[in-house]
Structure 1
Amino acid sequence: MKKSLSIIALSIIGFGLVSCKKEENKELQNSETIAPDSLSTAAPADSLSAVTPAPATGETVAPAASNQPLTTVALSESNFDFGNIKKGDKVNHIYEITNTGTSPLVISEVKPGCGCTAPEFTKEPILPGKKGKITLSFDSSSFDGAVQKFADVYANVEKAPIKLTFNANIQP
């Protein structure tokens, strides 16, 4: 009798999980019915998140994928070493990004790994053969010793996000 009840309970739970997945898929399909023309490429990335349903499982949501054609890029560097800096210094570094593809490069978001890093980036589409900039500003006030930080760059490239990193050795 106990085996029968546990099998029935597992079946009901399993059916409930399948039902939730179907509902999520319906929500996703409904959100995809928005006409691409209604989303401007100049819209801030956070306004696009309204059309992406949040997962029910507590997973993090990646920024909305760009509906732009994919392109390729080259970075001047993906890692920078600030070397020794004094605690409390605010430093920044500019990473150059070149569009090596045939479609315009659109950077939709630069998401730093923590609040100590602030990004700025080229907002307008970067034409093929042209360069854009991504600046990462780091506030060392809360750190001592060696640190390594990063920011993820979301753009219309095949292997997004692009990870930019930097190192610093914070001196008292």
Structure 2
Amino acid sequence: MKKTLSIIALSVIGFGLVSCKKENKEVQNPEVIGVDSTNAPVADSTVAPVTPTVAGTEAAAPVKSNQPTTTIALSESNFDFGNIKKGAKVNHVYEVTNTGTNPLIISEVKPGCGCTAPEFTKEPIMPGKKGKITLSFDSSNFDGSVQKYADVFANVENAPVKLTFNANIQP
């Protein structure tokens, strides 16, 4: 019986190792659309390369915006809540100003963990106008000093823009 269980366990472990293995296959035969002056095949340069993915994994970052870029100014990029009681739910509003010439479009605000919930201006922020990004923090699962962040994805050159906050969680 122990031998059978050992074989089953090894089979499951072996299968798990094989199924989690990331394969990096390159395209062997790209679509050929013509020949150059030496009669060598030429691939279509407009075809995007295929990137293999592993089931159950996500892309590292959201796709960059197709909107024309603009510039952004933050009232602050870091906020200190100071001392807060464990279990307190606090929030802070970061003010953003569109300092460019195109509408500012915030496509996503992605917090670093589940303890932080974002809300943000969803409509385009016109040049010279202001918008808001609110980060709400639930301190229930923390003790002592913490630092958290959220990445702001928008149509700006250096996206994502990182917003951070600190807190000292007291019992």
TM-score normalized by the length of structure 1:
0.70
Instruction: Give aligned pairs, total.
Output: 132
Alpha-carbon distance, 1:64 to partner: 2.0
Q: Deviations over 1:4-27 (max 9, x none)?
A: xxxxxxxxxxxx73227969xx9x
Change (3 A) 1:54 1:81: farther
Change (3 A) 1:22 1:73: farther
Structure 2 residue aligned with 1:144: 143
Change (3 A) 1:76 1:90: same
Structure 1 residue aligned with 2:77: 78
For 1:21 and 1:113, the matched residues in 2 are separated by: 40
Q: Does 1:162 align with 2:170?
A: no
For 1:20 and 1:100, the matched residues in 2 are separated by: 47
Large movers: runs of 4+ above 4 Å:
20-23
TM-score normalized by the length of structure 2:
0.70
Alpha-carbon distance, 1:59 to partner: 6.6
Structure 2 residue aligned with 1:103: 102
Structure 1 residue aligned with 2:60: 61
- Structure 2 residue runs without a partner (length 5+): 1-23, 32-43
Change (3 A) 1:17 1:124: same
* Deviates further, 154-163 or 53-62: 53-62
Whichever structure has more helix as a proportion of its residues is: 1
- Structure 1 residue runs without a partner (length 5+): 1-15, 31-52
For 1:119 and 1:146, the matched residues in 2 are separated by: 21
Structure 1 residue aligned with 2:93: 94
For 1:69 and 1:161, the matched residues in 2 are separated by: 15
Give the % identical residues. 74
8 Å Cα contact 1:55-1:61 kept in structure 2: no
